[in-house]
A = this chain, B = another copy of it.
Amino acid sequence: MTIEPLIKVQLENFGAEAEAARLTTGRKDVGALVSFVGLCRDEAGTLAALELEHYPGMAEAELTRMAEDAIGRWPLTGLTIVHRYGKIAPGENIVLVIAASAHRRAAFEAADFLMDFLKTRAPFWKKEHLASGESSSWVEAKAGDDKDAERWLNTRSGT
Contact = CB atoms under 8 A, between A and B. Distances in A.
Interface of A: 15-17, 20, 24, 26-43, 45, 90-91, 102, 104-105, 107-108, 111-112, 115, 148
Given A35-B35, A148-B105, A91 B27 contact: yes
A112 B43 CA distance: 26
How many copies of this chain does one complex carry? 2
Nearest to A47: B28
Given A17-B15, A26-B91, A108-B112, A33 B36 contact: yes
Contacts of A148: 105
A31 B139 CA distance: 15
Contacts of A36: 32-35, 104, 107-108
